[in-house]
Amino acid sequence: MHSTRKILLASLIAAGSLSVAQAADITIGMAEALSGGAAQYGHSIKNGFELAASEINAAGGINGNKIKLVVEDEQGKKEEAINVFKKLIFQDKVLMIFGPTLSNSAQAADPIAQAAKTVAFGTSNTADGITSIGNYVFRNSVTEADVLPVTISTAQRKLGIKKVAVLYGNDDVFTKSGYDNFKKALADLKVPVTATETFAKGDVDFKAQLTKIQSTHPDAIVLSALLAEGGPIMVQARQLGIKLPFIGGNGMNSVKIFDLAPGAASNDLWVGSPWSIDNNTPENTKFVAAYKAKYNTAPDQFSAQSYDAMHIAAQALKKVKLTGNLAADRTALRDALPNVKWTGATGAFEFTQAKNRAGKPAGYDAKQTAIISMTHDGKYII
Ligand code: 1QQ
């Protein structure tokens, strides 16, 4: 009996209808920026995924199958994100992909996943329109459109700002979308803008823009930037004697700013956040303790969102009866994901359906009751 079964299994494998790897492991791709300027975010994101996967595997995996992560560095570049997505989808034959890190890369690479009917799940993509790409595109990152109006109204209340200057990167999908949403929030809340200045990826000298801003006497500088430029911008502002508060978006919501703009340079930076280390729910307390034990450093919102995303995917996977037919399994996972409800480190979570540009149902956005908090000199204020 035993040997007959073995022969049957062997012949099925030979016929290509069953693969040993699929029976034993659930292979998930992770495409994040692990080198270059955006690696400041990518490593936190990777840590969150790996922590959650190790917890899930230690608890027996998904219906007995272990999660296996295939990790790729997309370098924070859209061309590289496309390459890595192709490798994961067609060569590694992953069930789904987490990533990429930047919205700029997601806008380029997610259409590859959509065309291959493979889930692309972003945990840090906050620009408008990412999930409009299609119905295999998901994210649990709370968008700039959701967060920035709260950031501005909180800054009005706590800082008493009456007028602001705006500085943003005009060649990146995220920084541009952040600008659009800041502009709208400022108009809605009737906060006049004294000056609007721009910069580009890779710029290193921001003194001309900052000097112009300074001459218009704003109460704060609204900044839509990634850390690679946002750090030097804060340093140079302080060198010019500009002591104004900075109000940032998701790109500035990282403790890495305290390394890039050391000491007093990063004082008075205010951001809205979907997560706070000080939120002491049972789920977050467990996450923070497990993260510190594994990595010997504190988590940030990027690792909190990737940690939750892995658990969200695991909930969907538990509902999927894997058949070994990759195309069918990828689609079954896509169909299961929208129904997941999960309370994790970032709070209660569910998805809401996005629309594509023609107004038809497309991918899925986080519908999260965000904990809006603000970092200020390294401390969160809830
Ligand atoms: C985006 C972002 C960045 C800050 C991710 C690291 O929010 O590109 O959408």
Residues 122, 167, single domain; the answer is no
Please give the residue range of the domain that contains residue 208.
144-273
Please check whether residue 381 lies inside any domain of the structure: no
pLDDT for the residue 293: 98
Please check whether residue 346 lies inside any domain of the structure: yes
The Cα 340–Cα 313 span in angstroms is 8
Residues 229, 242, single domain; the answer is yes
Please check whether residue 355 lies inside any domain of the structure: yes
pLDDT for the residue 9: 38
- Where is the domain boundary, 273, 292, 325? 273
Residues 167, 204, single domain; the answer is yes
Q: What is the count of structural domains for the chain?
A: 2
Residues 267, 289, single domain; the answer is no
Please check whether residue 221 lies inside any domain of the structure: yes
Q: How far is the CA of 39 from the centre of ligand 1 (A)?
A: 11
Pocket test for ligand 1, best of 34, 45, 105, 126 (most atoms within 8 A of CB): 126
Q: What is the ipTM of this complex?
A: 0.99
Pocket test for ligand 1, best of 130, 171, 250 (most atoms within 8 A of CB): 250
Residues 125, 17, single domain; the answer is yes
Residues 203, 321, single domain; the answer is no
Pocket test for ligand 1, best of 43, 45, 46, 125 (most atoms within 8 A of CB): 125
Residues 153, 117, single domain; the answer is no
pLDDT for the residue 278: 86
Please check whether residue 352 lies inside any domain of the structure: yes
* Residue 312 CB partners (closer than 8 Å, separation 6+): 140, 337, 340, 342, 344, 349
Residues 121, 150, single domain; the answer is no
* Residue 318 CB partners (closer than 8 Å, separation 6+): 62, 63
Please check whether residue 23 lies inside any domain of the structure: yes
Q: Would you say the CB of residue 33 lies under 6 angstroms from ligand 1?
A: no
Q: How far is the CA of 172 from the centre of ligand 1 (A)?
A: 10
DSSP state letter for 90: I
Residues 30, 130, single domain; the answer is yes
Q: Would you say the CB of residue 41 lies under 6 angstroms from ligand 1?
A: yes
Q: Would you say the CB of residue 102 lies under 6 angstroms from ligand 1?
A: yes
Q: How far is the CA of 323 from the centre of ligand 1 (A)?
A: 35
Pocket test for ligand 1, best of 180, 182, 226, 301 (most atoms within 8 A of CB): 226
Which CA distances in Å does 20 have to 42, 97, 287? 31, 21, 33
- Where is the domain boundary, 211, 240, 273? 273
Residues 9, 47, single domain; the answer is yes
Q: How far is the CA of 319 from the centre of ligand 1 (A)?
A: 30
pLDDT for the residue 373: 64
Residues 156, 98, single domain; the answer is no
Strand order across the 341-344 sheet: 66-73, 25-32, 96-98, 119-122, 137-139, 361-366, 347-355, 341-344
CB 347 within 8 A of CB 370: yes
Q: Would you say the CB of residue 140 lies under 6 angstroms from ligand 1?
A: no
Q: Would you say the CB of residue 251 lies under 6 angstroms from ligand 1?
A: yes
Residue 131 is part of a domain; what is its CATH number? 3.40.50.2300
* Residue 190 CB partners (closer than 8 Å, separation 6+): none
- Where is the domain boundary, 273, 305, 329? 273
Please check whether residue 231 lies inside any domain of the structure: yes
Q: What is the pLDDT along the chain (382 residues), one digit of tens a residue?
A: 343 334 333 333 344 444 444 447 999 999 999 999 999 999 999 999 999 999 999 999 999 999 999 999 999 999 999 999 999 999 999 999 999 999 999 999 999 999 999 999 999 999 999 999 999 999 999 999 999 999 999 899 989 999 999 999 999 999 999 999 999 999 999 999 999 999 999 999 999 999 999 999 999 999 999 999 999 999 999 999 999 999 999 999 998 998 999 989 999 999 988 898 888 999 999 999 999 999 999 999 999 999 999 999 999 999 999 999 999 999 999 999 999 999 999 999 999 999 988 889 999 999 875 566 666 665 565 5
pTM of the model: 0.92
Residues 200, 315, single domain; the answer is no
Residue nearest to atom 4 of ligand 1 (CA): 251
Please check whether residue 377 lies inside any domain of the structure: no
